Amino acid sequence: MNDNSLIKTLQDTIESQNKTIEVLKEELKKANENIEYLIKKLYGRKTEKTSAIDGQLVTGNI
């Protein structure tokens, strides 16, 4: 294998690895977005359903 052939092979390998890195970075970004969404869904603020209207005074049994 001559030097030019070796250089070409190494350049092709680098290009292939760079493409793989970009794909993996995108997959990681999507996975992190999913994790963030699920954490917010699991531990985020929850609204309680009540029959009282906000700002309405509760007077008890009158």
Are the C-beta atoms of 58 and 52 separated by less than 8 Å?
Answer: yes
Which residue range(s) make up the domain with 39?
1-46
Whether 23 maps to a domain, the answer reads yes
Does residue 60 lie within any of the structural domains? no
**Residue 33 domain flag:** yes
Residue 61: inside a domain: no
pLDDT at 4 over 70: yes
Q: Is residue 36 part of a domain?
A: yes
pLDDT value at residue 53:
63
Residue 34's CB: how many other CB atoms inside 10 A? 10
Domain assignment of residue 55, yes or no: no
| Contact in structure between 14 and 20 (CB atoms under 8 Å) | no
pTM score: 0.63
In a domain, 59, yes or no: no
pLDDT per position as a tens digit, 15-61: 999 999 999 999 999 999 999 999 999 998 876 565 656 666 666 66
In a domain, 52, yes or no: no
How many domains are there within the chain? 1
Return the structure tokens found at 46.
Answer: 């929850």
DSSP 50: -
